[in-house]
Amino acid sequence: MQRLQAFKFELMPNGEQEQDMRRFAGARRFVYNRALDIQKANHASGGKYIGYVDMANRLPEWKKEKEWLKEPPSHVLQQSLKDADRAYKNFFEKRAGFPQPKRKGKGDSFRYPDSKQFEIDQDNSRIKLPKLGWIRYRNSRDISGTAKNITVSQSGGKWFASIQTERSVLQPVPTATSAVGIDMGVVRFATMSDGSFIEPLDSFKKHERRLAKYQRRMCRKVKFSKNWHKARRKVQKIHTRIANARKDFLHKETTTISKNHAMVAIEDLQVSNMSKSSKGSAEEPGKTSRPSRG
């Protein structure tokens, strides 16, 4: 069977490369949002849906209007139009909600969709990307399979490269034969039907005091000043550490469960619905809202 797998590494760009990556992400965001605006206006006027090819034919005109759109590789902007086209199709086919515009600083990324565009030198821990050159990365593990595309993204003030690969593997044969049910909780993160349970990580509580300290410092700064941005980056760093701890915790626990059991059953919880009746409304508040929410 064919397996698609992504290998994510932290990039270590120099100052010029980091500025270029920010510009590439901004150009990709602009093209995506402009395509959405055109589709919205076209739909409101009763026009026929504009496909990817027709939308891509407008790119040369956009580049004439905005000279900075010529800076990133063309494949990056074309891939952004493909992403917008896919988002609209997913909405019309009821697989996702209505596509929302991209915002600066949130999910900044761009993709090189063709393997001919980049080179990977694992021995020297570096990647060569169009119009960026060789960039070093933290080589934490070997890359298995043939690289198909690379997505460059920013998270927590750092840049990452996600390399999607494809390789042939044998069909996995499950060895576990047991089934288990899982009950999610608050005091205990998860309780198994066999009597075992998983304690909560409490990642936020471990960093709560330090987070509050840096948030107070940020509040004392003039908003959007240089010192405010410095304090904001420190707060962002703590949030990233909390998120990474949670991801690591969930990956390890779910891997253990899936390896030891052939079937897993879990209740379909809607937490908002659990406290809806007791919470009531502003006119008729519930009598047991506080203990129920707790």
User: What's the rounded mean pLDDT across residues 278-288?
Assistant: 58
What does the pLDDT read at residue 274?
56
Eight-state DSSP code of residue 294: -
What does the pLDDT read at residue 9?
97
Question: d(Cα 56, Cα 185) in Å, to the nearest integer?
Answer: 49
Question: d(Cα 101, Cα 36) in Å, to the nearest integer?
Answer: 7
Of residues 31 and 187, the one with the higher pLDDT is 31
Neighbouring C-beta atoms of residue 182, cutoff 10 Å: 18
What does the pLDDT read at residue 294?
46
Question: d(Cα 179, Cα 94) in Å, to the nearest integer?
Answer: 33
User: DSSP string spanning 125-147?
Assistant: TEEEETTTEEEEE---SPPPSEE
Residues 74-124 pLDDT 10s: 999 999 999 999 999 999 899 999 999 999 888 899 999 999 999 999 999
Residues 195-238 pLDDT 10s: 999 998 888 888 999 999 999 999 999 999 999 999 999 999 99
Question: d(Cα 34, Cα 197) in Å, to the nearest integer?
Answer: 50
Residues 46-62 pLDDT 10s: 999 999 999 999 999 99
Does the pLDDT of residue 281 top 70, yes or no? no
Neighbouring C-beta atoms of residue 134, cutoff 10 Å: 12
**Token representation of residue 28:** 């990709």
